[in-house]
Chains A and B, each alone.
Chain A
Amino acid sequence: MRSSAPAVRPGVFREPPAWQSFLVHVLAVADAEARKLSHDPVELLTRAVQPTLWLAVFGQVMARIRGVPTGGLGYLDFMAPGILAQSVLFIAIFYGIAAIWERDLGVLHKYLVSPASRTALVTGKALSAGIRALSQAAVVYGLALLMGIHVRVTLPSVAAVLVLVVLGSALFSMLSLIIACLVKTRERFMGIGQVLTMPLFFASNALYPLNLMPTWLRVLSVVNPLTYEVDALRALMVRGGVSLFGVGTDVGILLAWTVFLILAAARLYPRIVV
């Protein structure tokens, strides 16, 4: 038995610059998530059901009514980016439950006692949620092509759409993580998740344009980040789609929201342990 500190501290390595460690930690968390998905991809299939129902049932009926002024776009063309954004939202908004689950299991403790910064861990989770959402883009593109929706299938446009899907998913998963850190139990979380999704969806331009809304709803929609996600997707994803705010503005607002929510989540993340 030794009575003084061990001379060598083999646990401590020469440290790379902070930004490099940050990147390694973010990618370590995201890579673990990607590996989990590759082991059990079944959930990706069940997630295809909802966007299919919205586009193939709701969308086709609404398209016949021709009741929504979509500015020259067919209703299905108008709606497809909205449904992609919606399915990203619906998955991401329940992402926080995974954190509660990881807490109950003890996986979370392992991350929190590691030297990785809380911001890196949480950013890794945001990126993980983004990776999970990519399958939704594949589903919506597939459906859109089958249904004759006029999607752009050029490399730059698809790449831009995927970036937006990851960004939107990161944003809403962080909102979800913040809620999870505050409510801490699955039961309370499910309740709040249910209450949040529909207002976020309906108070946005996913199904109908902003100028059709009563003023109070339009005010809510302009605050709602989902509106900017849809606005950018609409311009990038479908032929003839136009952005109301400009894609640059949309991306700027989404990025600002995401960074803000990541920083807030990083502060709250350790609280979930108790």
Chain B
Amino acid sequence: MGMPGDVSPEGAAIRTAGLTKRFNGLTAVDAVSVEVRYGEIFGLIGPNGAGKSTMIKMLTTLLPPTAGHAWVAGFDVGTQPTEVRKRIGYVPQVVSADGALTGYENLLVSARLYGIPRAEQGARIREALDLVGLADAAHTLVSRYSGGMIRSLELAQSTLHRPVVLFMDEPTVGLDPVAYRAVWEHIADLRRRFGTTILITTHNMEEAEEHCDRVAIMHLGRIVAVGSPADLTRDVGPDATLDDVFVHHTGAAIESGGSYREVLRTRRTARRLS
């Protein structure tokens, strides 16, 4: 099902058409077509096991789709993965900063992998450390960082090359309220300064309601509703929350779902960050 010329992938930061991923007969993402505009903070929301992480892994070129297409920043993730990789940042749900290195060294590795010219590396790294408030901890091993500091470092690391689109998989799981607020301040800051498009996944409906311009509600691999939190809740009823919207569209409570492995991963991440 190749996409004909009538779509203009340039127009959207992310666009998928019938995007599907099956694992041994299990359909994790089921023919999803969705569009994210440039400059949005977009939330992919739903319970564990809804297919959010699989979506993100396909969009970041980590997993090849079983069927369908996806374009990120105007490039096809299947046929132009390197072009996509140059333009995206990714903060996985698991902890991606290397604990055996210092904050500065983690950033140095990223600077080199993203081809930031040597003459510019030092200034970029300093600026990134300042932006997330880690200048004083630059030369401390990351294994001694707190959970909030680790997430901040990962944000700095994934945006050092100023990506067009930043993907964050459950960025605030396991963070205390102070760190939670700091992470969201950094995200807002990024968008303000660089116009970065941000796609996050979360199973926390309040978080999505508060911070996302638009959300897509995922359930069993499908997107059941897309829109701004205000529009979605208004359609369900007065005083409705996104939780109510979820129940309205799926007939299921948000707590359900999540494979053993996913629950394990979430807990392990939470433990490492706390």
> Of A2, A25, A112, which one neighbours B38 at CB under 8 angstroms?
A2
B113 and A114 contacting across the interface, CB-CB below 8 Å:
yes
Show 28 A/B contacts (Cβ-Cβ < 8 Å), sorted by A. A2-B39, A2-B195, A3-B37, A5-B11, A9-B164, A11-B162, A12-B86, A27-B112, A28-B112, A32-B105, A35-B105, A36-B100, A39-B101, A105-B94, A105-B95, A105-B98, A107-B96, A109-B96, A110-B96, A111-B113, A112-B61, A112-B62, A113-B61, A113-B88, A114-B85, A114-B114, A115-B114, A274-B23
Which B residues are in CB contact (< 8 Å) with A107? 96-98
How does the 8 Å CB contact mask read for B79-117 relative to A, with 1 for contact and 0 for none? 000100111111011111111111001001110111111
Q: Contact residues of B with A, CB < 8 Å?
A: 10-11, 13, 23, 37-40, 57, 60-63, 73-74, 82, 85-90, 92-102, 105, 108-110, 112-117, 141, 157-158, 161-164, 194-195, 213
A270 touching B62 in the complex, CB below 8 Å, given contacts A11-B164, A106-B92 = yes
How does the 8 Å CB contact mask read for A94-132 relative to B, with 1 for contact and 0 for none? 000000000011110111111111000000000000000
A5 touching B38 in the complex, CB below 8 Å, given contacts A36-B101, A115-B114 = yes
Which B residues are in CB contact (< 8 Å) with A36? 98, 100-101
Which B residues are in CB contact (< 8 Å) with A24? 112, 115
A11 touching B112 in the complex, CB below 8 Å, given contacts A39-B100, A39-B141 = no
Report Cα–Cα, A109/B164, bound state, in Å: 18
Which A residues are in CB contact (< 8 Å) with B85? 113-115
Q: Which 6 A-B pairs have the closest CB atoms?
A: A106-B94, A28-B112, A106-B96, A114-B113, A10-B162, A36-B100
A110 touching B101 in the complex, CB below 8 Å, given contacts A2-B38, A2-B195, A11-B163 = no
Which A residues are in CB contact (< 8 Å) with B161? 11
How does the 8 Å CB contact mask read for A153-164 relative to B, with 1 for contact and 0 for none? 000000000000
Report Cα–Cα, A117/B39, bound state, in Å: 28
B39 and A9 contacting across the interface, CB-CB below 8 Å:
no
Report Cα–Cα, A123/B115, bound state, in Å: 17
How does the 8 Å CB contact mask read for A14-46 relative to B, with 1 for contact and 0 for none? 011000010011011101100110011000000
Report Cα–Cα, A21/B105, bound state, in Å: 19
B113 and A25 contacting across the interface, CB-CB below 8 Å:
yes
A35 and B62 contacting across the interface, CB-CB below 8 Å:
no
The closest CB in chain B to the CB of A104 belongs to B94
A35 and B93 contacting across the interface, CB-CB below 8 Å:
no
B74 and A5 contacting across the interface, CB-CB below 8 Å:
yes
Which A residues are in CB contact (< 8 Å) with B60? 113
Report Cα–Cα, A274/B105, bound state, in Å: 27
A1 touching B62 in the complex, CB below 8 Å, given contacts A25-B113, A110-B110, A111-B113 = no
Q: Is A273 an interface residue (CB 8 A)?
A: yes
The smallest C-beta distance from B215 to any residue of chain A, in angstroms, reads 15
B113 and A273 contacting across the interface, CB-CB below 8 Å:
no
A113 and B62 contacting across the interface, CB-CB below 8 Å:
yes
B101 and A15 contacting across the interface, CB-CB below 8 Å:
no
Q: Is A4 an interface residue (CB 8 A)?
A: yes
The smallest C-beta distance from B120 to any residue of chain A, in angstroms, reads 8
Which B residues are in CB contact (< 8 Å) with A15? 115
Which B residues are in CB contact (< 8 Å) with A110? 90, 92, 96, 110, 157-158
Report Cα–Cα, A24/B141, bound state, in Å: 24
B164 and A13 contacting across the interface, CB-CB below 8 Å:
no
> Of A4, A28, A29, A109, which one neighbours B62 at CB under 8 angstroms?
A109
Which B residues are in CB contact (< 8 Å) with A274? 23, 63
Report Cα–Cα, A129/B85, bound state, in Å: 26
A11 and B86 contacting across the interface, CB-CB below 8 Å:
yes
The smallest C-beta distance from A118 to any residue of chain B, in angstroms, reads 10
B96 and A25 contacting across the interface, CB-CB below 8 Å:
no
Q: Is A6 an interface residue (CB 8 A)?
A: yes
How does the 8 Å CB contact mask read for A227-270 relative to B, with 1 for contact and 0 for none? 00000000000000000000000000000000000000000001
Which A residues are in CB contact (< 8 Å) with B109? 28-29, 31-32
Which A residues are in CB contact (< 8 Å) with B11? 3-5
The closest CB in chain B to the CB of A1 belongs to B39
Which B residues are in CB contact (< 8 Å) with A105? 94-96, 98-99
A5 touching B10 in the complex, CB below 8 Å, given contacts A25-B113, A113-B90, A114-B110 = yes
Which A residues are in CB contact (< 8 Å) with B97? 107
A32 touching B74 in the complex, CB below 8 Å, given contacts A16-B115, A24-B115 = no
Which B residues are in CB contact (< 8 Å) with A25? 112-113
B40 and A116 contacting across the interface, CB-CB below 8 Å:
no
Report Cα–Cα, A24/B116, bound state, in Å: 11
The closest CB in chain A to the CB of B9 belongs to A5
The smallest C-beta distance from B165 to any residue of chain A, in angstroms, reads 9
A115 touching B86 in the complex, CB below 8 Å, given contacts A2-B195, A4-B11 = yes
Report Cα–Cα, A36/B117, bound state, in Å: 24
Report Cα–Cα, A111/B157, bound state, in Å: 11
B10 and A106 contacting across the interface, CB-CB below 8 Å:
no
